[in-house]
Structure 1
């Protein structure tokens, strides 16, 4: 009789029966281990949460008064005889891979990850295992990222040109991860950085957690528009096309996403500039990360799962496509309205976010334009 696998895919999420816990469950459970604080991985309603300590304040901000235990990378927690250890995923600040071990059997759940060191997230660290559960958001050969230094040289040159031409500069990225990555790579000799309330709330949560970020200025009703025009505005995708954004006209609007690699994506976003910048691994990064685990089997949870599974099997991996409810925090242009972070950014624009419950990813809140801070 075959031994029951240490981790299983259930209707609530990835489950460890021996340890009696779930990893990134999408339905309420008693014990949840969380890879990172994006809305399609960290849901409201669990009795107990375990996450990396740099996710602590963002999780409290997003989910309210939860029962939360936080640990460092490499710190082992025992759950009913099962060893649980978090390792860096490189996706966003505080993101983690979850290593689970019991009687010599080792599984690793990647969550979302990228292999490029972005200078602000703890860099991705391959973890040896027998079974690797991986995302593949950008699991197609067309997705090959350029070094971020090259991308930000383009961003800063564009910003400088806008200032010289009397245009406001609006750059769009998700409030957790992308916004901080952009912030830390801007040339502040050009001007000040102004932030939408959702992004500034996230920045403040990270700062409470001890993360050092470059200076920012929250945009309020009293912020002089002439001053904003001399700087750069960091905004979430949910602000695009809203009265909040239109009040900065004339402006040049740039969108940061891995999906900008697709022809026409910039046009569909109505952006003046598209910057190919992703917090997920590209094609080469996915393959190298999976290979570095030395895994016997790999399970693909979200992204181009069918085609990437076929490819991995063709080159010698034992790959399997699995069904989960993890979304796309970058907002795939083929799936409007997007899941994950774009959904959260629309929801979090409500000033009463501290008293709200985060609904499952994929909800349609496009009519929430009047709520933007």
Structure 2
């Protein structure tokens, strides 16, 4: 093709032939949205297209919007360009976007992870000519342990805290990470309490996904009720007056950044669990191989290092592209609550 099928401009990732954006960061007429995190689903578009499991999520977060939901692998054509959504495995309802025009196929991953967490629809590699990938954890240092091992550590930590008469406070973003944590907790140890932002989002997801019973923390919730149990809260709740009612408590964060000890110290938490909703180094490389792509565009994270490795070590046609997607670890606002991803 003379002109790339997808280009990057001041508003986002744009398909000129179809006059459609993907995960636009400025208001546009029509936007395909990969998932519900605030850096990928922005407020202000006239029309939204997304997977049907993501429809209630973005309606909850963005308010009244015009949105149409699609099924996995369902093709829809706009001005001759064929689009379809495929599981990304990042969080519940997250998708990759396949774009095809005159035999040319591009895939935009959005955010993705390759391990099946048992809750989000598992990632499926899609063959393409050009692969636009995140590289949030595009360094060899990032290699994830199996989820079962991590949750064994989390549940052991909770059990020990209970024996010591402490409340366990575990931080994870209200959309995605929080529900993954809920799904992996051993409810035989005790009760699960939730911050209001986590409970609100979990209520939205319960009709579509199997999640354990939780108890919303209110002003009337006492220290004695919380003692020995576990609380799931967004990182933004750490350090506020809200957490004082949990004394004595111990804190932990579940994030890929917990690979580095310094990240735990900076967040002033007691314990770190390496659990990410993004692909690790090996997952990124394996995904690229599975697509059989000819070109790779790295959009956010360790883009320069990752693209250089692809070029110099693997001989691939790889480059970087700056976007306005947030790096993991920062929370950004929406109309109803904050939270992006880990």
TM more than 0.5: yes
Q: Deviations over 1:267-318 (max 9, x none)?
A: 1111110000000000000000011111110000000001111000011211
Once residues 212 and 4 of structure 1 are traced to their aligned partners in structure 2, the CA distance between those partners, rounded to angstroms, is: 45
Give me the whole-angstrom Cα distance separating, in 1, the residues matched to 2:227 and 2:265: 24
- Cα deviation digits, residues 200-250 of structure 1 (max 9, x gap): 110011124x22211111111122321111311000000010000122111
* SS in structure 2 at match of 1:233: strand
Which position in structure 2 is the counterpart of 1:51? 50
Matched residues, number: 339
Matches of 1:273 and 1:211 in 2, distance apart? 28
SS in 2 for 1:343: coil
Q: Structure 2 residue aligned with 1:273, among 263, 271, 282?
A: 271
For residues 90-121 of structure 1, give each alpha carbon's deviation from its aligned partner in whole angstroms, at most 9, with x where no partner exists: 00000000000011010000000000000000
- The answer as to 2:204 corresponding to 1:215 is no
Matches within 5 A, 1:257-296: 257-296=255-294
Are 2:151 and 1:162 aligned? no
1:136 aligns with 2:155: no
Q: Which runs of 5+ in 1 are unaligned?
A: 332-337, 362-373
CA distance in 2, matches of 1:4, 1:110: 21
Query: Secondary structure at the residue paired with 1:134?
Result: strand
SS in 2 for 1:160: helix
**Distance in 1, Cα, partners of 2:223 & 2:168:** 12
1:352-367 to structure 2, matched below 5 A, reads 353=336
TM-score normalised over the length of structure 1: 0.89
- Matching residue within 314, 323, 332 for 1:343: 332
Q: Show the counterpart of 1:61.
A: 60
Offset at residue 167 of structure 1 (A): 0.5
Separation of aligned partners in 1, 2:222 and 2:56: 30
What are the equivalent positions in structure 2 for 1:11-26 lying under 5 Å apart?
11-26=10-25
- Per the alignment, in what secondary structure is the counterpart of residue 43 of structure 2? coil
Q: Using the alignment, how far apart are the partners of 1:11 and 1:323 within structure 2? A: 10
1 CA distance for matches of 2:193 and 2:89? Answer: 26
Q: Could you list the per-position Cα deviations for residues 117-151 of structure 1 after superposition, in whole angstroms to 9, with x for gaps in the alignment?
A: 00000111000000000000000000000001100
What SS does the aligned partner of 1:99 have? strand
User: Which residue matches 2:298?
Assistant: 300
> How many angstroms apart in 1 are the aligned matches of 2:182 and 2:40?
24
d(CA) in 2 for partners of 1:104, 1:343: 38
Q: Who is 2:205 aligned against?
A: 206
Note the alpha carbon deviations across 1:303-337, whole angstroms, 9 max, x for none: 00011110000112110111110112x30xxxxxx
Cα displacement string for residues 176-215 of structure 1 (whole angstroms, at most 9, x for unaligned residues): 111011101100000111000000110011124x222111
Superposition pairs of residues 108-257 of structure 1, within 5 angstroms: 108-208=107-207, 210-257=208-255
In structure 1, what is the Cα distance between the partners aligned to 2:58 and 2:262? 35
Distance 1:156 1:211 in 2: 21
Deviation at 1:57, TM superposition (A): 1.1
* Higher deviation after alignment, 37-46 or 262-271: 262-271
Q: Scaled by the length of structure 2, what TM-score is found?
A: 0.97
CA contact (8 A) 2:96 2:108 kept: yes
1:343 to partner: Cα distance: 2.2
